[in-house]
Amino acid sequence: MEVYINIAVRLIGSISQSIKLKTLFTIMANTPSMPGIKNSWSLIAFAKAHGHMQVGKFTNKETGEEFESCIFTNDSNDRVFVAFSSKMGTLTPREIAAQKDRLQVVELESGNYSLCRVGENSWEDVDLF
């Protein structure tokens, strides 16, 4: 009888472990390991689509922390915030104007936008032919 109980305990433990592993693999398969890029534009193309660009200091409503960000405002007064890439750091309006041809805006899967240098945080073409 003791042998049957030990086998039953091992079987239940094995089934339980199998269910845990299956659940873990399902979660891992359906969860991105890091946010990916949904879209990207040159800075000029993004400005044409989203309006006048400004740089300013803003306050995070949840944390009270101040941060600098870009904001694009169109003729309908719709606004799009674009954060500075952490790799690139904050730029002044003069620096942005001087580097405008080497900057791009990327949209992350989270829905947030980021200003970065061309080639950073972007999809790269692969020449297969």
Q: 98-129: per-residue pLDDT in tens?
A: 999 999 999 999 999 999 998 755 555 556 66
Residues 6+ away with beta carbon under 8 Å from 18: none
CA distances from residue 73 to 19, 55, 77 in whole angstroms, order as listed: 51, 11, 6
Residue with tokens 């989203």: 50
% of the chain at pLDDT higher than 90: 53
Q: Between these two residues, 37 and 103, which has the higher pLDDT value?
A: 103
Average pLDDT, integer, range 14-32: 44
Q: Give residues with Cβ within 8 angstroms of 104, minimum separation 6.
A: 40, 41, 42, 43, 46, 115, 116, 117, 118, 122
Span 2-6, average pLDDT: 52
Task: Tell me the pLDDT of the chain averaged across its residues.
Answer: 77
Whether pLDDT at 97 is above 90: yes
Tokens representing 7 are 């086998």
The pLDDT tens digits for 60-90 are: 899 999 989 999 999 999 999 999 998 889 9
